[in-house]
Amino acid sequence: MLNRIMKAQRLMDAACLRLGRSINVMEVCGTHTVSIFRNGIRPTLPQGLNLLSGPGCPVCVTDQGFIDLVLELAARGDCIIATYGDMVRVPGKSGSLETNHKADVRVVLSTDDALRLADLHPDKTVVFIAVGFETTTPATAVAVADAARRRLKNFCVLSGHKLVIPAMQTLLAEKNNQIDAFLCPGHVSVIIGSNAYLPIVEQFGRPCVVAGFEPMQVIEGIAEICRQLAQGTAEVVSIYEGVVRPEGNIKARQLMDKFFEPYDGCWRGLGKISGGTLRLKNQYARFDAMQRFGIEEIPAEEPRGCRCGEVLCGLASPVDCSMFESKCTPDTPVGPCMVSSEGACAAWYKYGRRRRRNG
């Protein structure tokens, strides 16, 4: 392992020397962010090689308007909210699912759990809060297929599913962006395939390297990015060998296409992204919570002073935010990046907050 680390570090040093300026690599996935902090990778990087935590945490990119919608449904009294864990603590306009004592909120690990809840509680409507990227969307599609097949009447989905590629394109289209390359998410790439990043390489000339979540994978992914930057090339490379195929998981992609269609939904910090959010297709409207309850996404109201949006775009670091560590902590989160364990602010707080003065 030591040899591999040293080889990677040589590539990083060479790139820093060659470019003679700081290098900004954005990790797009929240699991990468956590791995980077949990394994103490940042302090091992050469000075001038910066990691930016991008919009890859599903909770963090979920717009406040969506959270308010969830809270509105929770307040109805005739719904059971079935959600993945991290969502329960995201504050909306009026508290969070965790602090809303009237809401019937069940943390589920899978869409199967949500369907089971619907079976167990025929008198209530189970609303599955469907967030996440291409990794979780196929499972939601399967659940809807299952519910349709069984003609389940008390199950529906509030979809906030997001697509990674449009977000990356939006970031690069921003004139002031400082992103030199992307460390691309391992799990998402299993589904969408490494070929999905070709447009980014071709259109914007930025290296895209897919890596797994083991610390060596992350380090070698960054090293591969540095190799490309030093040579002035931009390619799609996957070092997540044997796991990510160029074409991805075709079955899962077909499943997504069958049930979902992209529309211009809101992302926190990034605003409306063209074709960046998924909703159920018209023929499955009866499983769409928005259609069923006749509700609409309320225009977002970001908490005053919260800089999660800039953090998600790599324009600010969590410590740049005046609320970080004071008003905004994991116990009393203001913005979503502090709520989710995979959020950049929570990771900074948990793992990077205070580092010893001299190594």
- Choose between 88 and 201: whose C-beta lies nearer to another protein: 88
Least Å distance, CB 203 to another protein, is: 26
Under the binding rule (CB under 8 A), the answer on residue 14 touching another protein is no
Query: From edge to edge, which strands make up the β-sheet containing 79-83?
Result: 105-107, 79-83, 125-130, 155-159
- Choose between 11 and 59: whose C-beta lies nearer to another protein: 59
Which span (224-232, 245-253, 305-313, 346-354) binds another protein, by CB under 8 A? 346-354
Tokens for 147? Answer: 């519910």
- Choose between 131 and 234: whose C-beta lies nearer to another protein: 131
Q: What is the rounded distance in angstroms from the CA atom of residue 182 to the CA atom of residue 271?
A: 21
Least Å distance, CB 164 to another protein, is: 11
Under the binding rule (CB under 8 A), the answer on residue 39 touching another protein is yes
Which residue is listed with tokens 């991008």? 54
One of 10, 17, 75, 85 touching another protein (CB under 8 A):
85
Q: What angle do CA 312, 165, 255 make, to 5 degrees?
A: 120
Q: What is the rounded distance in angstroms from the CA atom of residue 58 to the CA atom of residue 337?
A: 10
Which span (15-23, 93-101, 290-298, 304-312) binds another protein, by CB under 8 A? 93-101
> In angstroms, how far is the first alpha carbon of the chain from the final one?
21
Under the binding rule (CB under 8 A), the answer on residue 215 touching another protein is yes
* Near another protein in 160-189, by CB under 8 A: 187-188
Q: What is the maximum span of the chain, computed from C-alpha positions, in angstroms?
A: 66
- Binding characters for another protein, 217-246, by CB under 8 A (x = yes): --x---------------------------
Under the binding rule (CB under 8 A), the answer on residue 7 touching another protein is no
Under the binding rule (CB under 8 A), the answer on residue 42 touching another protein is yes
Buried b (16+ CB within 10 A) or exposed e, 329-338: eeeebbbbbb
One of 40, 122, 246, 305 touching another protein (CB under 8 A):
40
Query: Which uninterrupted H or E stretch holds 218?
Result: helix 215-231
- Choose between 46 and 215: whose C-beta lies nearer to another protein: 215
Q: What is the rounded distance in angstroms from the CA atom of residue 302 to the CA atom of residue 60?
A: 12
Under the binding rule (CB under 8 A), the answer on residue 37 touching another protein is yes
- Choose between 87 and 118: whose C-beta lies nearer to another protein: 87
Cα torsion at 348, 351, 357, 358 (round to 10°)? -120
Q: What is the rounded distance in angstroms from the CA atom of residue 146 to the CA atom of residue 148?
A: 5
Q: What is the rounded distance in angstroms from the CA atom of residue 268 to the CA atom of residue 271?
A: 6
Least Å distance, CB 287 to another protein, is: 20
Amino acid found at 109: L
Under the binding rule (CB under 8 A), the answer on residue 123 touching another protein is no
Under the binding rule (CB under 8 A), the answer on residue 159 touching another protein is no
One of 54, 55, 92, 132 touching another protein (CB under 8 A):
132
Question: For residue 8, what are the contacts with CB-CB under 8 A and spacing of at least 6?
Answer: 219, 220, 222, 223
Q: What is the rounded distance in angstroms from the CA atom of residue 86 to the CA atom of residue 340?
A: 5
Q: What is the rounded distance in angstroms from the CA atom of residue 213 to the CA atom of residue 32?
A: 6
Under the binding rule (CB under 8 A), the answer on residue 102 touching another protein is no
- Binding characters for another protein, 301-330, by CB under 8 A (x = yes): -----------------------------x
Backbone angles phi, psi at 324, to 5 degrees: -60, 125
Query: Site residues (CB under 8 A) for another protein?
Result: 1, 5, 30-31, 34, 37-44, 58-59, 84-89, 98-99, 101, 107, 109, 131-133, 135-136, 187-188, 213, 215-216, 219, 330-332, 340-342, 349-356, 359
